[in-house]
Protein backbone atom coordinates (compact mmCIF):
# COMPACT_ATOMS: atom_id res chain seq x y z
CA UNK A 1 0.00 0.00 0.00
CA UNK A 2 1.33 3.43 -0.94
CA UNK A 3 -0.05 6.55 0.78
CA UNK A 4 2.10 9.30 -0.66
CA UNK A 5 2.51 13.05 -0.29
CA UNK A 6 4.22 14.90 -3.14
CA UNK A 7 5.80 18.11 -1.92
CA UNK A 8 7.04 20.81 -4.25
CA UNK A 9 6.49 24.46 -5.06
CA UNK A 10 4.03 25.46 -7.80
CA UNK A 11 5.57 24.39 -11.11
CA UNK A 12 7.85 21.75 -9.58
CA UNK A 13 6.13 19.02 -11.59
CA UNK A 14 3.81 17.45 -9.00
CA UNK A 15 0.94 17.16 -11.50
CA UNK A 16 3.07 15.56 -14.21
CA UNK A 17 4.70 13.15 -11.76
CA UNK A 18 1.26 12.29 -10.33
CA UNK A 19 -0.03 11.25 -13.77
CA UNK A 20 2.91 8.89 -14.23
CA UNK A 21 2.59 7.47 -10.71
CA UNK A 22 -1.16 6.88 -11.20
CA UNK A 23 -0.49 5.03 -14.48
CA UNK A 24 1.84 2.61 -12.77
CA UNK A 25 0.49 2.31 -9.21
CA UNK A 26 -3.25 3.08 -9.70
CA UNK A 27 -3.43 5.38 -6.69
CA UNK A 28 -6.21 7.94 -6.17
CA UNK A 29 -4.79 11.34 -7.19
CA UNK A 30 -5.94 14.01 -4.76
CA UNK A 31 -4.98 17.53 -5.83
CA UNK A 32 -6.45 20.25 -3.64
CA UNK A 33 -5.78 22.81 -6.41
CA UNK A 34 -7.80 20.70 -8.91
CA UNK A 35 -10.56 20.24 -6.33
CA UNK A 36 -10.75 23.98 -5.70
CA UNK A 37 -10.80 24.75 -9.44
CA UNK A 38 -13.65 22.30 -9.90
CA UNK A 39 -15.52 23.77 -6.93
CA UNK A 40 -15.05 27.28 -8.38
CA UNK A 41 -16.28 26.18 -11.81
CA UNK A 42 -19.37 24.65 -10.18
CA UNK A 43 -19.81 27.70 -7.92
CA UNK A 44 -20.21 25.53 -4.81
CA UNK A 45 -20.00 27.25 -1.38
CA UNK A 46 -16.40 26.01 -0.98
CA UNK A 47 -15.57 27.23 -4.48
CA UNK A 48 -17.00 30.69 -3.82
CA UNK A 49 -15.09 30.97 -0.54
CA UNK A 50 -11.82 29.73 -2.05
CA UNK A 51 -11.93 32.03 -5.08
CA UNK A 52 -10.99 35.23 -3.26
CA UNK A 53 -7.81 33.60 -1.91
CA UNK A 54 -6.86 31.70 -5.05
CA UNK A 55 -7.19 34.75 -7.32
CA UNK A 56 -4.56 36.53 -5.21
CA UNK A 57 -2.24 33.55 -4.90
CA UNK A 58 -2.94 33.27 -1.17
CA UNK A 59 -3.70 30.05 0.67
CA UNK A 60 -7.28 29.05 1.35
CA UNK A 61 -7.82 28.78 5.15
CA UNK A 62 -6.55 25.51 6.62
CA UNK A 63 -9.91 24.39 8.08
CA UNK A 64 -11.62 24.67 4.68
CA UNK A 65 -8.86 22.79 2.91
CA UNK A 66 -8.48 20.10 5.56
CA UNK A 67 -12.22 19.41 5.54
CA UNK A 68 -12.16 18.97 1.76
CA UNK A 69 -9.23 16.56 2.05
CA UNK A 70 -10.85 14.54 4.84
CA UNK A 71 -14.03 14.10 2.80
CA UNK A 72 -12.02 13.04 -0.24
CA UNK A 73 -9.83 10.59 1.69
CA UNK A 74 -12.97 8.92 2.99
CA UNK A 75 -14.15 7.99 -0.52
CA UNK A 76 -14.08 4.46 -1.79
CA UNK A 77 -11.42 4.74 -4.50
CA UNK A 78 -8.82 5.74 -1.89
CA UNK A 79 -8.69 2.28 -0.36
CA UNK A 80 -5.86 1.16 -2.68
CA UNK A 81 -3.66 4.11 -1.77
CA UNK A 82 -3.42 7.79 -2.62
CA UNK A 83 -1.20 10.64 -3.78
CA UNK A 84 -1.72 13.97 -2.08
CA UNK A 85 -0.65 16.74 -4.45
CA UNK A 86 -0.67 20.31 -3.12
CA UNK A 87 -1.63 19.35 0.44
CA UNK A 88 -0.27 19.86 3.04
CA UNK A 89 1.32 23.22 2.29
CA UNK A 90 1.92 24.37 5.89
CA UNK A 91 3.04 22.59 9.02
CA UNK A 92 -0.36 23.35 10.54
CA UNK A 93 -1.94 21.47 7.63
CA UNK A 94 0.55 18.63 8.17
CA UNK A 95 -0.61 18.38 11.78
CA UNK A 96 -4.26 18.40 10.69
CA UNK A 97 -3.42 15.67 8.18
CA UNK A 98 -1.90 13.55 10.95
CA UNK A 99 -5.22 13.76 12.77
CA UNK A 100 -7.14 12.89 9.60
CA UNK A 101 -5.00 9.88 8.68
CA UNK A 102 -5.30 8.63 12.26
CA UNK A 103 -9.10 9.04 12.23
CA UNK A 104 -9.37 7.25 8.87
CA UNK A 105 -6.64 4.72 9.66
CA UNK A 106 -4.71 5.55 6.48
CA UNK A 107 -1.14 6.17 7.61
CA UNK A 108 1.32 7.89 5.29
CA UNK A 109 3.97 5.64 3.78
CA UNK A 110 6.08 8.13 1.76
CA UNK A 111 6.73 11.83 1.36
CA UNK A 112 8.64 12.82 -1.76
CA UNK A 113 9.80 16.41 -2.28
CA UNK A 114 10.47 17.53 -5.86
CA UNK A 115 13.10 20.26 -5.65
CA UNK A 116 13.36 22.94 -8.34
CA UNK A 117 15.12 26.34 -8.43
CA UNK A 118 12.98 29.48 -8.30
CA UNK A 119 14.01 30.72 -11.81
CA UNK A 120 12.90 27.42 -13.31
CA UNK A 121 9.54 27.65 -11.52
CA UNK A 122 8.84 31.13 -12.87
CA UNK A 123 9.74 30.04 -16.43
CA UNK A 124 7.55 26.96 -16.17
CA UNK A 125 4.49 28.66 -14.66
CA UNK A 126 4.48 31.44 -17.25
CA UNK A 127 4.62 28.86 -20.08
CA UNK A 128 1.96 26.59 -18.58
CA UNK A 129 -1.49 26.18 -20.14
CA UNK A 130 -4.39 23.89 -19.36
CA UNK A 131 -7.15 22.00 -21.10
CA UNK A 132 -10.44 23.76 -20.41
CA UNK A 133 -12.31 20.48 -20.32
CA UNK A 134 -10.19 18.15 -18.15
CA UNK A 135 -7.53 20.36 -16.58
CA UNK A 136 -4.54 18.49 -18.08
CA UNK A 137 -1.47 20.73 -18.00
CA UNK A 138 0.88 21.54 -20.86
CA UNK A 139 3.88 23.80 -21.45
CA UNK A 140 4.40 26.04 -24.49
CA UNK A 141 7.98 24.83 -24.85
CA UNK A 142 8.50 21.50 -23.15
CA UNK A 143 5.16 19.68 -23.02
CA UNK A 144 2.99 20.49 -26.04
CA UNK A 145 -0.02 18.29 -26.86
CA UNK A 146 1.01 15.44 -29.20
CA UNK A 147 -1.45 16.74 -31.81
CA UNK A 148 -1.42 20.53 -31.88
CA UNK A 149 -4.63 22.01 -30.47
CA UNK A 150 -5.95 18.68 -29.12
CA UNK A 151 -5.70 17.56 -25.50
CA UNK A 152 -3.83 14.24 -25.18
CA UNK A 153 -6.01 13.17 -22.27
CA UNK A 154 -9.58 14.04 -23.29
CA UNK A 155 -9.42 15.21 -26.93
CA UNK A 156 -10.65 18.71 -25.97
CA UNK A 157 -9.74 21.67 -28.18
CA UNK A 158 -9.96 24.61 -25.80
CA UNK A 159 -7.07 25.71 -23.63
CA UNK A 160 -6.48 28.54 -21.15
CA UNK A 161 -3.85 30.01 -18.85
CA UNK A 162 -4.68 29.79 -15.15
CA UNK A 163 -5.42 33.23 -13.68
CA UNK A 164 -2.94 32.47 -10.92
CA UNK A 165 -0.19 31.56 -13.42
CA UNK A 166 -0.20 35.16 -14.66
CA UNK A 167 2.98 37.06 -13.67
CA UNK A 168 1.24 39.42 -11.19
CA UNK A 169 0.02 36.48 -9.11
CA UNK A 170 2.90 34.02 -9.59
CA UNK A 171 5.29 36.10 -7.51
CA UNK A 172 2.99 36.13 -4.48
CA UNK A 173 2.15 32.44 -4.89
CA UNK A 174 5.80 31.48 -4.87
CA UNK A 175 6.54 33.69 -1.86
CA UNK A 176 3.60 32.30 0.11
CA UNK A 177 4.60 28.71 -0.63
CA UNK A 178 8.38 29.13 -0.29
CA UNK A 179 8.09 30.33 3.28
CA UNK A 180 6.46 27.07 4.30
CA UNK A 181 8.42 24.66 2.12
CA UNK A 182 11.51 24.14 4.29
CA UNK A 183 9.61 23.66 7.61
CA UNK A 184 7.29 21.20 5.89
CA UNK A 185 10.19 19.14 4.58
CA UNK A 186 11.75 19.20 8.02
CA UNK A 187 8.46 18.03 9.57
CA UNK A 188 8.46 14.86 7.45
CA UNK A 189 12.21 14.38 7.61
CA UNK A 190 11.93 14.14 11.39
CA UNK A 191 9.33 11.41 10.97
CA UNK A 192 11.72 9.51 8.68
CA UNK A 193 9.29 9.68 5.74
CA UNK A 194 11.03 12.20 3.45
CA UNK A 195 12.93 11.53 0.23
CA UNK A 196 13.99 14.25 -2.22
CA UNK A 197 14.27 14.13 -6.01
CA UNK A 198 15.83 16.64 -8.37
CA UNK A 199 12.97 18.23 -10.31
CA UNK A 200 15.27 20.06 -12.75
CA UNK A 201 15.63 16.81 -14.67
CA UNK A 202 13.48 15.65 -17.61
CA UNK A 203 10.03 14.36 -16.50
CA UNK A 204 10.95 10.74 -17.34
CA UNK A 205 14.03 10.96 -15.11
CA UNK A 206 12.04 12.58 -12.28
CA UNK A 207 9.55 9.72 -12.51
CA UNK A 208 12.33 7.09 -12.63
CA UNK A 209 13.76 8.51 -9.39
CA UNK A 210 10.31 8.52 -7.74
CA UNK A 211 9.62 5.00 -8.98
CA UNK A 212 12.90 3.79 -7.47
CA UNK A 213 11.81 5.19 -4.08
CA UNK A 214 8.27 3.77 -4.26
CA UNK A 215 9.28 0.32 -5.46
CA UNK A 216 11.77 -0.06 -2.59
CA UNK A 217 9.00 -0.56 -0.01
P1 LIG B 1 -2.30 24.56 -7.04
O2 LIG B 1 -3.04 24.12 -8.24
O3 LIG B 1 -1.85 23.41 -6.17
O4 LIG B 1 -1.19 25.51 -7.34
O5 LIG B 1 -3.35 25.37 -6.13
C6 LIG B 1 -3.97 26.55 -6.61
C7 LIG B 1 -4.43 27.41 -5.46
O8 LIG B 1 -5.39 26.70 -4.67
C9 LIG B 1 -3.33 27.80 -4.47
O10 LIG B 1 -2.60 28.93 -4.89
C11 LIG B 1 -4.16 28.07 -3.21
O12 LIG B 1 -4.82 29.34 -3.29
C13 LIG B 1 -5.23 27.00 -3.29
N14 LIG B 1 -4.76 25.78 -2.60
C15 LIG B 1 -4.44 24.58 -3.14
N16 LIG B 1 -4.02 23.71 -2.21
C17 LIG B 1 -4.05 24.39 -1.03
C18 LIG B 1 -3.71 24.06 0.31
N19 LIG B 1 -3.21 22.86 0.64
N20 LIG B 1 -3.89 25.01 1.26
C21 LIG B 1 -4.38 26.22 0.96
N22 LIG B 1 -4.69 26.61 -0.28
C23 LIG B 1 -4.54 25.71 -1.28
Which protein residue has the closest C-alpha to ligand 1 atom 2?
33
CA 51, CA 48: separation in Å to the nearest integer? 5
Residue 99: which residues within 8 A CB-CB, separation 6 or more?
none
Is 92 in contact with 116 (CB distance < 8 Å)? no
Q: Which of 60, 116, 121 is the pocket-test mutation for ligand 1 (most atoms within 8 Å of CB)?
A: 60
**Is 185 noted as a catalytic residue in this protein?**
no
**Is 103 noted as a catalytic residue in this protein?**
no
**Is 89 noted as a catalytic residue in this protein?**
yes
Claim: this prediction has a pTM higher than 0.95 = no
The verdict on the CB of residue 33 being under 6 Å from ligand 1 is: yes
Flag residues of the chain having pLDDT under 70. 217
Is residue 217 classed exposed, middle or buried when 0-12, 13-18 and 19+ CB atoms within 10 A define those classes?
A: exposed
Question: Ligand 1: which atom is nearest the Cα of residue 10?
Answer: 4
CA 193-198-202 angle, 5° bins: 130
The predicted structure's pLDDT at residue 142: 87
Residue 171: which residues within 8 A CB-CB, separation 6 or more?
57
Is 80 in contact with 109 (CB distance < 8 Å)? no
Q: How many CB atoms lie within 10 A of CB 111?
A: 24
Q: How many CB atoms lie within 10 A of CB 79?
A: 10
Whether residue 88 has a cis bond before it, omega within 30° of 0:
yes
Residue 3: which residues within 8 A CB-CB, separation 6 or more?
81, 82, 101, 106, 107, 108, 109, 110
The verdict on the CB of residue 60 being under 6 Å from ligand 1 is: yes
**Is 72 noted as a catalytic residue in this protein?**
no
Catalytic residue selected from 89, 179, 185, 205: 89
Which protein residue has the closest C-alpha to ligand 1 atom 19?
87
Cα dihedral across residues 20, 23, 27, 29: positive or negative: positive
The verdict on the CB of residue 135 being under 6 Å from ligand 1 is: no
Q: Which of 9, 12, 54 is the pocket-test mutation for ligand 1 (most atoms within 8 Å of CB)?
A: 54
Which tens digits make up the pLDDT trace of 158-181? 999 999 999 889 989 999 899 999
The predicted structure's pLDDT at residue 217: 63
16 is in an annotated binding site: yes
CA 135, CA 126: separation in Å to the nearest integer? 16
Phi/psi class of residue 211: alpha, beta or left (left: φ > 0; alpha: ψ in -120 to 50)? alpha
The predicted structure's pLDDT at residue 216: 84
Amino acid sequence: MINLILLGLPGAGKGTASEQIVDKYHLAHISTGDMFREAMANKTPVGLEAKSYIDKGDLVPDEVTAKLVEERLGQDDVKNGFILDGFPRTTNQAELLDEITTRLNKQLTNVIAIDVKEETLIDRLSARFMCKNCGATYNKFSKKPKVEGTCDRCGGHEFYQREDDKPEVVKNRLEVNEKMNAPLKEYYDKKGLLATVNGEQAPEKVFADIDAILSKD
